[in-house]
Amino acid sequence: MSEALEIARATLAGETAWLVGGAVRDQLLGRDTDDVDLALPGDPKRCAKAIARASGGTAFQLSGAFGAWRVVGPEHAWHIDLVTLRDDDIVADLAARDFTINAMAEPLAGGELVDPHGGRADLERRLVRMVSERALEEDPLRSLRAVRIAVELGLEIDPPTGAAAARHAAGIAAVANERVFGELKRVVSADAVRRGLAAMEAYGLTQVVLPELTALHGIEQSRFHHLDVHDHTLEVLDAVALLQRDPAAAGLDDAVRTLLAEPLSDELTRGEALRWAALLHDAAKPDTRGEYQGRVTFMGHDVAGAQLARDVLGRLKSSQRLRDYVAAVTLHHLDAGFLVHERPLDRRIVWRYLRATQPYSADTTIFTVADRLATRGDNSGPAIEAHLEVARELLAAAREEDAAGPPKPLVRGDELIKEAGVPAGKQLGTILAQLEEDRYAGEIVTREDALARARELAR
């Protein structure tokens, strides 16, 4: 039994309350859940406050229109949603729910399963089936939710439900973008993400929630690519997923898996956030496609793509950190590839790469490997090996810098003004940056070296 369910049962002992929705479904599947839904007669505020007091959690109202309350446990370890029972009748309440596998209930204190729509049988059949099409009419986001549930639980969507999802897909445009992102990010994070994206496209959902992906169909690339931009994007997504679970299979070490498992933002790990970079890194290619001397080009798609990524994630109401992260990776996703032609890399080249890509140097480098693995046109074998050589070196440098932290400057800016005659202003910042590079390159070591170099630069 989950902690959330234990707390709810202990706190609301003696109350009339029904365990409903996903928590019932997950119990039948043998899955633990930290997300519990309760339906109660009357206003759930009192019960929410009681659970919060008993657990040390926080209670707050979710929706004034429907009277829903949420209790979030300490350190966000779990949450319990409490809603008013429709018409004080559990059968009427379940009839208004989205899918049969979510339209089951049992008394919170324990008792017989209430399953008027055959949810248990559908679970055994591994099927997502709507209770009624009216549910999708009332909330079109349920069309996307059907896909999310199917990919997370390894279920199939029954054909009439899929057809209804397609009929109501356009209605998602009127749904709050925060809610759309809540479902979409779970599809993108799922192990079966490719199956989820295929279902979204089949039902017309992608065109509504992520039209930038649909726009990549049929955008042909140069001879160094074996796929159009859309299918290349999906192969980059596959490569990111591979790096999350088995980086050795892609030629990198296991420290990559540890890094990509770290939390980043929006309830996403770094690896899950890199999946968004995969989806958006080439999204500006349709607008930048051109030809030069008979060769297809996409000049500036990195810069334009970074802004487009910000715009897309801004539309979806993601956090600023996620926007910054995906935009930074998109902006610099070509940089490591250019360095293949600079081998062997000297320390100045590495330094400039690290400065350009900070604070996400390691993440960006890992992403370039995914992008390179998904580019298998002419000369792809040697190109991939050369890229991996560069990427390993850049990753080692990024890790070394992250572990050491920022070094104490050999000399401060005010000291340069006093002792080296460097004027305050833009030149001072330029010289300080150059001294950092020179130090990384091993050309200056002491404070006296730094002052002498500064005097030289200031002439």
252 vs 242: CA distance, rounded Å = 11
Q: At 178, is the pLDDT very low, low, confident or very high (cuts 50, 70, 90)?
A: very high
Confidence of residue 227 (pLDDT cuts 50, 70, 90): confident
CB atoms within 10 A of CB 169: 21
What domains does the chain contain, in order, with CATH numbers? 1-115 (3.30.460.10), 126-209 (1.10.110.30), 226-404 (no CATH), 413-458 (no CATH)
Are 250 and 242 a contacting pair, CB within 8 Å? yes
**342-363: pLDDT as tens digits:** 999 999 999 999 999 999 999 9
Q: What pLDDT shows up at residue 270?
A: 98
Mean pLDDT of 407-418: 92
Give a three-class secondary structure readout of the chain: CCHHHHHHHHHCCCCCCEEECHHHHHHHHCCCCCEEEEEECCCCHHHHHHHHHHHCCEEEEEECCCCEEEEECHHHCCEEEEEECHHHCHHHHHHCCCEHHHCCEEECCCCCCECCCCHHHHHHCCEECECCHHHHHHCCHHHHHHHHHHHHHCCEECHHHHHHHHHCHHHHHHCCHHHHHHHHHHHHHCCCHHHHHHHHHHCCCHHHHCHHHHCCCCCCCCCCCCCCHHHHHHHHHHHHHHHHHCHHHHCCCCHHHHHHCCEEECCEEHHHHHHHHHHHCCCCHHHHCEEECCEEECCCHHHHHHHHHHHHHHHCCCCHHHHHHHHHHHHCCCHHHHHHHHCCCCHHHHHHHHHHHCCCHHHHHHHHHHHHHCCCCCCHHHHHHHHHHHHHHHHHHHHHHHHHCCCCCCCCHHHHHHHCCCCCCHHHHHHHHHHHHHHHCCCCCCHHHHHHHHHHHHC
Q: Average pLDDT of the chain?
A: 93
Does residue 220 register a pLDDT over 90? no
pLDDT confidence band for 294 (50 / 70 / 90): confident
pLDDT value for 134: 95
Average of per-residue pLDDT across 424-440: 93
Question: Which of 202, 196, 197, 195 minimizes the C-alpha distance to 169?
Answer: 202
> Can you give the pLDDT at residue 376?
85
Q: What is the pLDDT of residue 305?
A: 97
Q: Are strands 58-63 and 35-40 parallel, antiparallel or unpaired?
A: unpaired
CA angle centred on 439, ends 433 and 441, rounded to 5°:
105
- pLDDT bracket for residue 223 (50, 70, 90): confident
Higher pLDDT, 373 or 225: 373
At 65 the pLDDT is 52
pLDDT at 411: 94
Task: State how far the Cα of 194 lies from the Cα of 311, in Å rounded to an integer.
Answer: 24
Residue 104 confidence class, pLDDT cut points 50, 70, 90: very high
* Share of residues in the chain with pLDDT > 90 (%): 81
Stretch 142-166: mean pLDDT = 97
* 280 residue type, one letter: L
pLDDT at 66: 66
For the cut 90, the answer to whether the pLDDT of residue 400 exceeds it is yes
**Across 176-199, average pLDDT:** 97
Predicted confidence (pLDDT) at residue 64 exceeds the cutoff of 70: no
Looking at residue 219, what is its pLDDT?
A: 87
pLDDT in tens, 246-278: 999 999 999 999 999 999 999 999 999 999 999
pLDDT value of residue 292: 84
